[in-house]
Structure 1
Amino acid sequence: MSVTRPRVTEKEQYFSEIDRLVNSQVLHGSEQLCKLLRYLGEHALEKPGSPLKEYQIATEVFGRPADFDPQLDSTIRVQAGRLRVKLAEYYSTEGADDPVIVELPKGTYLPSFHVRSSARVVALPRPQPSAPRKTRFGAIAILSGLLLVAVAAIIYLLALGNSRPSTSHDASPAVFAKFWKSYLNSQDEPWVIFSNGAFVGRPETGMRYFDAAHDSRDVILDHYTGVGEVLAVHALDQVFTGLNRQLRVKRGSLVSLDDVKNADVIFVGSPAENLTLRDIPGTTKFFFRTLDSGSRKGDLAIINLQPQSGEPGYFIGTPSNLHLEEDYSIIALVPGMNPAKSEMILAGTTTLGTEAAVEFVCQRDSLEKLIPRLRTSSDGTVEPFEAVLRVRVRRGVPVESEIVALRNGR
């Protein structure tokens, strides 16, 4: 007896592909991008040929008020741009053999769907840690274990800073007030959001990063952070104390978009572990990505979207199976979810790179070299920029940093 299976329609294939994208590692933690993708995909498939406007997306997907003005708020354009990057990343990695390709062409909010002429289905084995990776991972796990008290340490350092007698702006070098000017005038205190990775396992028996494909979310440990993040929060607190400005501090896994949508924010740590960064407008010139091919496959790099003369296509530090001697970081000031607010991103490919990025913007000498290379508005406020920092590391300590790529403006 033969059984005839119902034929899968193209429309069903397309919806299945959207489901694969939403559940992928590339979009893991990017709730807003997943919501946007589902909305755009459903509109394109259920109402083919019907155009989509920014206003419609803003009010129906992102909950913007009825007076939303796309001329003043670029959120939708920024999010669409981020979605395009994520789609390209997905199809160059885990979606390389998917039967359908989803694209979001520039100039439109309607996705296009393409069926591959011949799709090859490959069963991906569960990744097994190699000996070299275990070496670096073991070091990270040990550091993480030692930093079980990281949050308590941060609270202690902040309490210590807040217990100091109030100082005037004159107590801090003028270069700090100039660089951080956009963070000093708001009525609300700025947020510092530090990264904390999702781990599974136990410190005493070994830990590894959470794998969404194989691990239950019920066993996630999300109260660990890195050495660099702890020292970074302390350094920022010292600078802002000198500027008579208190900071609010939260770990990334506890932050909601409501916390940051109308606030000035400083993100400490890359989107790989600071997941909130995946759901808000971020960098457009440089971004973090795990390499999926070549001799450095599996290592985190900073992608250079538009390399200038003499610049590489990506920046990458010491291989993960060797002792860390070089790292790279991003230092970026971009508009926040509310374009009137500021978002600072200070993140390295390792925790030591993150530490170096924060040190760079908390030291007088480095800021005095950086600020002349940045654009400022008529009132002296630093305008948006993105920079890549090369970091030399000796014996687990960042000892030298220099800007190797810089872009002004959006």
Structure 2
Amino acid sequence: MIESPVSSTKTIHAERAELDAVLASEMFRRAPTLARILEYLCESQLRGETFIKEYEIATQVMGRSSDFDPQQDGSVRVNLHHLRKKLKQFYETEGADHTLWISLPIGQSLPSFVVQNPETDPSQTPSAETGATFSSVNHVLQATAATGEVPPQLQPGAAAPAESPVTAKSKPRTSASLFIALLSMALLGAAVTWLWFSRKAPDTPRPIMTDAAIRIGSGLSRPYQDTSGRTWNADVFFTGGNTFHRKLAQVGGATDPTIYQNGREGDFSYDIPLPRAAYEVHLYFAESFAHGEGFRAMNIFINDKRVEQLMDVTSDAGGFGIATGKIYTSVWPAADGKIHLQFKGITLTAFINAIEILPANGDTMRPIRQTTLPTYYYDPQGTVWAPDAWFHGGRTSQLTELFPELPLQGFYQHERFGNFSYSIPVVSNRTYSLTLYFQDAWFSHQPKGKGTPGMRRFDVTCNGMELIKQLDILEETKGAGFQITRHFTGVKPTSQGKLLLNFIPSQNFAMINAIVIEEEPVAPVSP
């Protein structure tokens, strides 16, 4: 384990002191249930927990019985919603002058401690030897949310705004003080996140939290929360290039087009400081300028190694204004502690819409688990399922609105149906398993012909190869419309690193509820 360059004791003491102050406040003394939940969540976070289930909160804090079912009882989610509002209200009033704030981000089950003014908090001051790391990026980017702008001092290659002679004379230390404050905030994040990655793993495996990621919206001047709940930080750590904004009414394969309407273009680079660990890098693109294939090509490098040659986004995505992505595993920071991303235009200019960096899943690609829901879903086992993405065609339906009497569970409450396809990015030259989830709620609960086999039949192909022929869910479940899965192994992607899934109807519409893609282990070579 790498030792943290900053003593964890000071950080933990400061965080616990802030928790005690919040619990002792008049606002939380009047809300005992929310206070107990906050104390439980914070203490869990301080102990090194990475995820808390609704069931735990209900049974250990709210006094619910052991048969509590979060699918039937939403009281925990309601209380977490009220707790977020209460914390926001507290730091707008009683706690407005606190230097350390407690935050409970949407979609996250554990709180975060966010520094507001590290320059005036000696217990939060890091060692002078501390280097910028994973959390330092997020701490700096969180700081931009307050002003809506990225500090020029933190943009490599961007000059800081010049001061007039009068301003410089009357406030000779203002610029330096601001820089020191922002840099201190960045360095403080090093300690918090270094602890996150170096702490001892729990005895039982836990899912990596969705928000344990750095997300940069290229070209964004301020943070943006998309419709799925993910926060994309403002553009930072770049050198060269120019920003652009092009209005797209919709982007194929994306429920929210905003991220793909903005970007950075030209010849440019990103130099992102991170702790010494392995990461998975995701790059996001959608062509919004060059109509047609062959008009734009670029090369992409990671730490000076070329990972894409003559990449044509329109060709890769299958058309103009369609989202596509690239995934790279086992990416380590270079000797200077940074991951270097370089984009060089070959025909026209290079561009990027967004960057996402996540903790690596060993040497294999992180599993892809996605539903047809528009937001993240946490199942009762604590597994995180991503929202619907990379689709083309079809429509989605909220089945609980159509059939409120049905006991539909989890992601089976929502489906994509029609004649549609998915183009899901994976790492090239590897082999995957594929699991598809189905439940025919629609035809198993129609007033006429209820549960009659033959009402829906469709084929499924992957990269042009037939996976399922004439799937009839009602026939296989004897008219009950129960859940079924289909599991496939040895699935290989296209040369562009895609799994192309086509759902082709022959009787009424095809449908799907969820998709799981996992990289298969490489078979050992015989001696």
TM tier, smaller? under 0.3
- Kindly indicate which of the two structures has a greater share of residues assigned to helix: 1
TM-score, structure 1 as length reference: 0.25
- Kindly indicate which of the two structures has a greater share of residues assigned to strand: 2
TM-score, structure 2 as length reference: 0.21
